[in-house]
A and B are shown apart, each in its own frame.
Chain A
């Protein structure tokens, strides 16, 4: 009995002592903040932050690897609590919501076979990518619904997931489990800077719209009698819906599937209808605007591209200022397009809407005369964008024109340079000259530069070696003269100090896979562009510059959005290498304005601008249909036009302007839309 007490007691004491010692010997310091942060986090372990669970995120937050707002589930309350523990300021994050990307369930869509296997989309995908013919169609087995840790998803009557936007926390679990990548997180900002890719369900009209308006989406909202929501959808891609409603050539209507049976849906008049509605209500609808991030951006040029860029920058939280050379904003829209095509009150209304989002303007200021690249940086702008668009941008490049000096020394258009030489003006090309030209004139010019003291001349051509003129192909003789030829190359960036050029960034244009992609930066004192206009450049400050002198500011251009000619084809192919805009239609300028926004936003939010893979507009190989069945033919609605002599149809006069659709005909027209997907469309039985 006693021995029992002794042994058990002794065992207990011995173990107690050992454990006490062990806790000292094996003591591991744990930051008390980690526990405090972990307590603040919701403990759902959903993985929405990108880490395995809440405790891993707590460790990451304390280590400074994740931000206080990294928990997407907790919302502002949790963020505030975590920020308090960490003693940091709160940065607000735009909420992201899951959005299913398929709108035809398997009862309506065409299928290859009937699936009766395991009740899970991941298993169903293993059988030839699922039963639907459409490779990106929702299989409707509810894997996302089962995976949702918050019960925000349910299966709708048509076997498509329905998101409850109130309970959706944007954790992204559904996005991770969906084997088809159909349900994805999206936010207004994502849609503004996004482009359509091939594994996304898009309607033919949407793909053909240069700026990519979600056309079936806004027409659906017109049918729902929700004109403001329709306008909000349009404004995610096009900030000038009324102007487009008047003058857009509407390539979307050419692609409309209704062309296969009767007439295209009146897409552009419908857009005009909702924009007219906005103008009549005399207020401007600005759906979502991110909280201010404080970066100041100077936009040089207040045309369609500059206005678009400023509008989206303001909506993404930046602080843009338009610097316009003319007395009023609008560029070609105001000064070139005839007033009876585009009434000026329409233009003023649209510009007013853009300025209301928080865009500042300075009119009557000219780059090269009133300000320079370096003075803008000194004024505190974080980036300077040239959106010279359709107007001649030579003025800013022409050093010798009276009253102007060059904003970037050493940047010339070839014609101006030759003109100056022919007039006997003194031009100093510096030590190194880069000429961007495909013709043999480049050799002549190169020799002239050599005579004027240049040591090395490099001719850059975007053509392949065998496409070049024969004189430029055998380059050994030229190299002996100090002239070097680089084929299949484009200029992708500039670097400089204050107002002078220092370096030029070059890139190989061979499609990836054919030859290794080459990037190089070469020294240049003079860059001569063969013709055309100056590409859009986004200038930002750069620390990484060779020896700037006291008080000078180093700058460089960042990569914008570009595709190389020859590498891919499609409706988005740029007009010239290095350019992203095309002023042939206002809607194309809107696209480049939006793409510049993307480049600037990516530069300031993630430091690197990433190219988008598999852009839908660069490819012809996309699932489509060439016949339409089970659709009842109906006539396109037309605006009511007054003619000269009562009912004579010979001559038209427009009372003030070209009239738009009235509400009844707009609603009728909206019903004509087939709500197309890649191969699905609304059948009328």
Chain B
């Protein structure tokens, strides 16, 4: 049990996927202009990442490792994740239209999200068990959401501030992201 708590804290804060591993930077800058969209994106990532973590773990152990085809990992994971998102989208649209409308355009965006891909690969490289992989995927996704929501909050306030013209929009966004990353760097000392 303490192991799992350590895993969760490590995945959310210490190895935060956005601010410490620098994965998934496109949505980090793209959908962080408004709190509303940031929350939607965070939810969609949590949802997909848990599913993708589980499926890719199964694919890796029972398909790739069984046939000694580890070198096809990246290729097959892209295929699996992309089709998984497609499938989930269809399923939600029919069965849970409410959730579909809520997640909306964020689901297809995740097909090409390197944070999802990255977490699945990390799960395998760290040689997690199935449960560990599930917990890690969930925690990384929560960390993703946390960073995104924090960043969106900061950016919403920056819009109202008097920013010099050349630095407006993405430039000041990147500067802010850097500072946020530095702040998260402090968690390195925890573990």
Contacts and interface: CB of A to CB of B under 8 A. Distances in A.
Interface of A: 3-4, 7-8, 11-12, 15, 18-19, 22-23, 25-28, 118-120, 123
B72 A8 contact: yes
Contacts of B90: 19, 22-23, 26
B69 interface: yes
Given A119-B161, A120-B160, A19 B69 contact: no
B67 A3 contact: yes
Contact of B63 (A11, A23, A118): A11
Interface string B72-102: 1001100110010011001101110000000
B165 interface: no
Nearest to A18: B87
B94 A7 contact: no
A119 B91 contact: no
Contacts of A15: 79-80, 83
Contacts of A27: 94
B68 to A, nearest CB: 8
A26 B94 contact: yes
The 7 closest A-B pairs by CB, nearest first: A26-B94, A118-B160, A26-B90, A15-B83, A120-B160, A3-B67, A22-B90
Nearest to B68: A3
B3 to A, nearest CB: 33
B161 A12 contact: no
B72 A7 contact: yes
Contacts of A118: 157, 160-161
B85 to A, nearest CB: 11
5 contacts: A4-B71, A8-B75, A11-B79, A19-B86, A26-B90
B80 A123 contact: no
Contacts of B59: 11
B162 A119 contact: yes
A15 B162 CA distance: 51
B63 A7 contact: yes
A3 B87 CA distance: 26
Interface in B124-168: 157, 159-162
B20 interface: no
Nearest to A123: B160
A142 to B, nearest CB: 11
B64 interface: yes
Contacts of B76: 7-8, 11
A623 B50 CA distance: 60
A176 to B, nearest CB: 15
A99 to B, nearest CB: 26
A28 B72 contact: no
Contacts of A8: 72, 75-76, 79
Interface of B: 59, 63-64, 67-69, 71-72, 75-76, 79-80, 83, 86-87, 90-91, 93-95, 157, 159-162
A19 B80 CA distance: 11
Given A7-B63, A8-B76, A8-B79, 20 more contacts: A3-B67, A3-B68, A3-B69, A4-B69, A7-B69, A8-B72, A8-B75, A11-B76, A11-B80, A15-B83, A18-B87, A19-B87, A25-B94, A26-B93, A26-B94, A26-B95, A28-B93, A118-B160, A118-B161, A120-B159
A15 B157 CA distance: 45
A608 B61 CA distance: 68
A622 B4 CA distance: 66
Nearest to B87: A22
Contacts of A22: 87, 90-91
Nearest to A118: B160
Nearest to A120: B160
Contacts of B91: 22, 26
A12 B94 contact: no
- Greatest chain B CB density within 10 A among A3, A22, A27 is at A22
A289 B63 CA distance: 75
B1 to A, nearest CB: 36
Contacts of A25: 94
Contacts of B95: 26
Contacts of B86: 19
Contacts of B71: 4
Contact of B83 (A3, A4, A19): A19
A26 B161 CA distance: 47
Nearest to B67: A3
B143 to A, nearest CB: 29
A35 to B, nearest CB: 15
Nearest to B83: A15
A8 B69 CA distance: 10
Contacts of B157: 118
A12 B82 CA distance: 12
B94 A28 contact: yes
B133 to A, nearest CB: 19
Contacts of A4: 67, 69, 71-72
A11 B90 CA distance: 20
A23 B86 CA distance: 10
A379 B165 CA distance: 69
Given A26-B91, A28-B93, A7 B160 contact: no
B62 to A, nearest CB: 11
A4 B64 CA distance: 9
A12 B72 CA distance: 13
A7 B64 CA distance: 8
A26 to B, nearest CB: 4
A12 B79 contact: yes
A428 to B, nearest CB: 65
A13 to B, nearest CB: 11
Contact of A7 (B67, B80, B161): B67
Nearest to A141: B160
B132 to A, nearest CB: 24
Nearest to B76: A11
- Greatest chain B CB density within 10 A among A11, A18, A19, A119 is at A11
A12 B80 CA distance: 9
Contacts of A119: 160-162
A10 to B, nearest CB: 9
Nearest to A143: B160
Contacts of A18: 83, 87
A241 B169 CA distance: 54
Contacts of A11: 59, 63, 76, 79-80
A28 B94 CA distance: 6
A671 to B, nearest CB: 40
Contacts of B72: 4, 7-8
B91 to A, nearest CB: 6
Contacts of B67: 3-4, 7
A28 B86 CA distance: 14
Contacts of A26: 90-91, 93-95
B101 to A, nearest CB: 10
A12 B79 CA distance: 8
A27 B67 CA distance: 36
- Greatest chain A CB density within 10 A among B79, B80, B160 is at B160
A22 B89 CA distance: 10
B185 to A, nearest CB: 29
A19 B59 CA distance: 17
